[in-house]
C-alpha cells in the first residue's frame, strides 16, 4: 500500500474535515498504551485540579494558592467536563476514571497530527504532507509526550491550527486569530512566537487594518473571558479547601502573574537551569532521534517557505535565553 493511501486511510482526503474518526483511533490507542510517568505537571496542573473542581476532593499545589495564582483553568476544565460526565452517569468508581482522560487526550493528540499534516499540505504540497504524516506517526517524541495531559500538547494543536488557517488559500484570518487567542490563553509564552510569525508572514496590506481590529477585539474577549473563568475556578478551589483569599486576588490576570513570577522573580529556575545551548546540543537531537539525519532535507523545504524556518529558529533561540528548559516546551514547533 502506498504512503498516499495510508495517509488517506488514516486521515481522510486532504479537503475533508468531517471524518476524523480514524485519526482519533490512532492517537487514542497511543494514549491508552502510554502508561509511564513523564512530568508532574500532567497530574498537578490538569487532572488533579479537574478532579478537585468536580468532586471537591484532591490535592492543590502551591501554584494555585491565593496571592500566586499562576495557572489558568482553560486546560483542566477540558478534563473536568469528562469527570462531570462520569459523575452524571454514576460511573466514577470504574476504570473509566483513568481511561476517560486518556481518551480525551488522545483526541487532542489526533488533532495535533491533523492540523500539522494540513499545514504541511498547504505550505509544501501533498507529497511533503505525506512524508510529514509518516514522520508524525513514527516520532517517538509524539508517541511519548502528545498523549499526556500537558498543556503543551494542547498548545501544539491550537498553534498548528492557527498557522494552518493563516496560510491556507483562501486564508481564514479570523479563525486563525481565534486559535491564536486559545493558544496564548493556554500558554502565555506562545505570544512572542505568534508575534514572530506575523512579522515574518504579514497579512495582505489591504487586510492589515481590519485584522488589527479583529486582533484587538478577539484579544479583549479572550482576556475578559479568561479572567472571569479563572476567578470562578479559584473561588471553587478556595471554597473547597477552606482558604481565605485576599480581595485583591479576585479576577486574576494569570498571564501577568505567570510572566512576573517566572521572568521577574525566576521561580522556574527553582526546578533546574540549563546552559543557553541546551536546546541545540541536547533537546533537539534527543527529540528528533533518527530524524536528525533529515535536517538537510528539511532545510531545503524551508527555502520554499522561509517563514517556517524563521519561526522555528526564532522560537528555539527565544527559549534558549530562559534559564529553565524542558523538552516539552518545544512541542509547539513540532509542526516545523
Give the distance from CA 100 to its chain's centroid.
19
Residue 66 region by backbone torsions, left for phi larger than 0, else alpha for psi between -120 and 50, else beta = beta
The residue with greater pLDDT, 2 or 274, is 274
Determine the pLDDT at residue 298: 81
pLDDT band at 294 (very low <50, low <70, confident <90, very high): confident
Per the rule left: phi > 0, alpha: psi between -120 and 50, beta: everything else, 168 is beta
For the stretch 114-135, pLDDT in tens is 999 999 999 989 988 888 888 8
Mean pLDDT for the stretch of residues 256-274: 81
The span from the CA of 270 to the CA of 201, in Å, is 37
pLDDT of residue 12: 45
Residues 6+ apart with CB under 8 A from 298: none
The pLDDT of residue 190: 92
The overall pTM is greater than 0.85:
yes
Q: What are the tens digits of pLDDT across the range 31-80?
A: 999 989 888 899 999 999 999 999 999 899 999 999 889 999 999 999 99
- Which of 72, 143, 140, 135 lies closest to 105, judged by CA? 143
Least confident of 2-11, 281-290, 326-335: 2-11
Supply 203's cell numbers.
Answer: 497579512
pLDDT tens digit string along 159-193? 999 999 999 999 999 999 999 999 999 998 899 99
Q: What is the pLDDT of residue 336?
A: 61
In the predicted model, what is the mean pLDDT of residues 279-287?
Answer: 92
- The answer for 211, left when phi > 0, alpha when psi is -120 to 50, beta otherwise, is alpha
Buried b (16+ CB within 10 A) or exposed e, 256-278: ebbeebbeeeebbeeeeebeeeb
Domain segments of the chain as ranges? 3-333
pLDDT at position 266:
74
- Measured CA to CA, the distance from residue 8 to residue 12 in angstroms comes to 4
Amino acid at each position: 500500500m502506498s504512503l498516499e493511501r495510508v495517509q488517506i486511510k488514516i486521515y481522510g482526503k486532504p479537503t475533508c474535515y468531517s471524518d476524523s474518526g480514524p485519526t482519533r483511533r490512532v492517537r487514542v490507542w497511543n494514549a491508552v498504551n502510554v502508561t509511564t510517568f513523564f512530568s508532574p505537571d500532567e497530574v498537578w496542573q490538569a487532572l488533579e485540579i479537574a478532579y478537585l473542581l468536580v468532586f471537591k476532593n484532591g490535592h492543590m499545589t502551591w501554584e494555585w494558592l491565593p496571592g500566586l495564582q499562576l495557572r489558568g483553568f482553560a486546560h483542566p476544565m477540558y478534563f473536568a467536563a469528562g469527570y462531570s460526565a462520569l459523575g452524571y452517569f454514576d460511573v466514577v468508581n470504574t476504570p473509566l476514571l483513568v481511561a476517560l482522560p486518556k481518551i480525551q487526550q488522545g483526541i487532542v493528540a489526533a488533532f495535533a497530527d491533523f492540523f500539522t499534516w494540513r499545514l504541511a499540505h498547504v505550505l509544501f504540497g501533498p507529497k511533503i504532507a505525506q512524508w510529514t504524516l509518516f514522520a508524525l506517526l513514527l516520532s517517538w517524541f509524539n508517541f511519548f509526550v502528545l498523549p499526556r495531559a500537558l498543556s503543551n500538547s494542547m498548545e501544539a494543536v491550537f498553534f498548528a491550527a492557527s498557522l494552518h488557517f493563516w496560510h491556507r488559500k483562501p486564508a481564514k484570518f479570523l479563525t486563525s486569530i481565534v486559535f491564536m487567542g486559545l493558544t496564548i490563553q493556554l500558554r502565555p509564552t506562545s505570544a512572542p512566537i505568534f508575534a514572530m510569525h506575523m512579522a515574518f508572514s504579514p497579512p495582505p496590506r489591504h487586510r492589515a487594518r481590519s485584522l488589527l481590529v479583529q486582533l484587538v477585539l478577539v484579544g479583549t474577549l479572550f482576556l475578559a473571558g479568561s479572567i472571569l473563568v479563572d476567578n470562578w475556578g479559584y473561588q471553587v478551589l478556595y471554597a473547597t479547601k477552606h482558604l481565605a483569599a485576599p480581595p485583591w486576588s479576585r479576577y486574576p490576570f494569570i498571564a501577568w502573574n505567570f510572566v512576573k513570577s517566572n521572568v521577574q522573580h525566576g521561580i522556574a529556575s527553582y526546578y533546574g537551569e540549563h546552559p543557553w545551548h541546551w536546546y541545540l546540543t541536547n533537546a533537539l537531537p534527543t527529540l528528533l532521534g533518527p530524524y536528525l539525519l533529515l535536517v538537510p532535507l528539511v532545510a531545503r523545504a524551508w527555502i520554499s517557505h522561509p517563514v517556517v524556518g524563521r519561526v522555528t529558529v526564532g522560537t528555539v533561540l527565544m527559549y534558549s535565553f530562559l534559564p529553565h528548559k524542558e523538552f516539552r516546551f518545544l512541542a509547539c514547533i513540532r509542526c516545523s
